[in-house]
Homo-oligomer: A and B are copies of this chain.
Amino acid sequence: MKKFLITGFSGFVSRYFIEYLEENEIRAFIKGIDVHHPDFNSGTFKHVKCDFERIDLLDKGKVENIIFEFQPDYVLHLASFSSVAFSWKEPNISFQNNTNIFLNLLEAIRKLNIATRILSVGSSEEYGNVDPVDLPLTENHPLRPVSPYAVARVSQELLSKIYATGYGLDILMTRSFNHIGPHQKDVFVVSSFVKQMVEMKYNGAGANKLIAGDTTIIRDFTDVRDVVSAYYMLLTMGKKGEVYNVCNGKGWTLKDIIEKICDALDIDVEIVPNPGLFRPDDNRAIVGSNEKLRNAVKWAPKYTLEDTLNEMIAYWQKQINMA
């Protein structure tokens, strides 16, 4: 039975990682840590046993204690203040809760000399503004971060490489592109769109006005269940010191997404741009190449965008008791 330490345990990705282990009948003991309590069932399943502890990764002493006591075989580092918008408002808090928390984790593992394999989850935001001719982005593309969040993620990745090469820690890195799915909070754009549009459908409140930022930006969306399968495969089969894009390989504008949700719900919406949601120096288009990941661990995405959006619609219908 392998032991997994999951940071950012109470988040959206973690619950699907547990589900992945359970559904694939992978026996595992999970220690979950987070500053927030999980809002999902995180007890004992048939194949997976979870134990949660509320800690702040900025608290070095506690991080060391957890690592020392649990002696994980794998560390899935999901913890992150992952909002770009928040990072513009509070760059220091964002930086600390991305880069410094990760450094605390690495230092604990290094000092205690624990043999563990670490997956450092990073972000496609690390690439920054890219020329459309360079799409899809491969892992060799230069990193030119354009937000405080993206800088924090690049710093995290650079530290990962130092700990892998300089100290010999067994670390792999991802640059994870946008992921979506049921249970995602509505601070994230697609989840917010689905929620608002489900409300419109059932409230039927006259003109359907959807408040949005720039809907012409292009992003590469992957179903969260495909993301967690990539994480499991990388943890168990990926190559030490390497960085992997985790992405679908296709790009959609936010407008495309809105139209697909409209079709699924059979409604029309008027997009009302809110300049407050436009971000300084935002990336125009991000689409990744997942070739390296596919080749390394034989991963492939299983969910279509339409599948995922339909399940998100069903989720929000249930959430707002309109189903």
Please report A residues at the B interface, Cβ cutoff 8 Å. Answer: 60, 88, 91-92, 95-96, 99-100, 103-104, 106-107, 142, 145-148, 151, 154-155, 158-159, 162, 165-166, 280-281
Closest 5 CB pairs of A and B: A155-B155, A151-B158, A166-B280, A92-B107, A92-B103
Q: Say whether, besides A104-B92, A165-B281, A166-B88, A148 and B142 are in contact (CB < 8 Å).
A: no
* Interchain nearest-CB distance for A70 vs B (Å): 21
Find chain B residues with CB under 8 A from A281 CB.
165-166
* Interchain nearest-CB distance for A191 vs B (Å): 26
Asked if B99 and A162 sit within 8 Å, CB to CB, the answer is no
Asked if B165 and A159 sit within 8 Å, CB to CB, the answer is no
Find chain B residues with CB under 8 A from A104 CB.
92
Besides the known contacts A95-B103, A145-B162, A154-B155, 14 further A-B residue pairs in the complex with CB atoms under 8 A apart: A91-B103, A91-B106, A91-B107, A91-B159, A91-B162, A92-B104, A92-B107, A99-B155, A100-B100, A145-B158, A148-B166, A154-B154, A166-B280, A166-B281
Find chain B residues with CB under 8 A from A280 CB.
165-166
A151 partner, pick from B60, B91, B148, B162, beta carbons under 8 A: B162
A–B pairs, 19, beta carbons within 8 Å: A88-B166, A91-B103, A91-B106, A92-B104, A92-B107, A95-B99, A96-B100, A99-B99, A99-B155, A142-B142, A145-B158, A145-B162, A146-B162, A146-B165, A148-B162, A148-B166, A154-B154, A155-B158, A165-B281
Chain B residue at smallest Cβ distance from A110: B91
Find chain B residues with CB under 8 A from A88 CB.
166
Find chain B residues with CB under 8 A from A99 CB.
95, 99, 155
* Interchain nearest-CB distance for A226 vs B (Å): 30
Asked if A166 and B147 sit within 8 Å, CB to CB, the answer is yes
* Interchain nearest-CB distance for A101 vs B (Å): 11
A104 to B91, CA, bound (A): 10
Q: Say whether, besides A91-B107, A107-B91, A155-B155, A166 and B146 are in contact (CB < 8 Å).
A: yes
A155 to B148, CA, bound (A): 10
Asked if B158 and A154 sit within 8 Å, CB to CB, the answer is yes
A166 to B145, CA, bound (A): 11
Find chain B residues with CB under 8 A from A103 CB.
91-92, 95
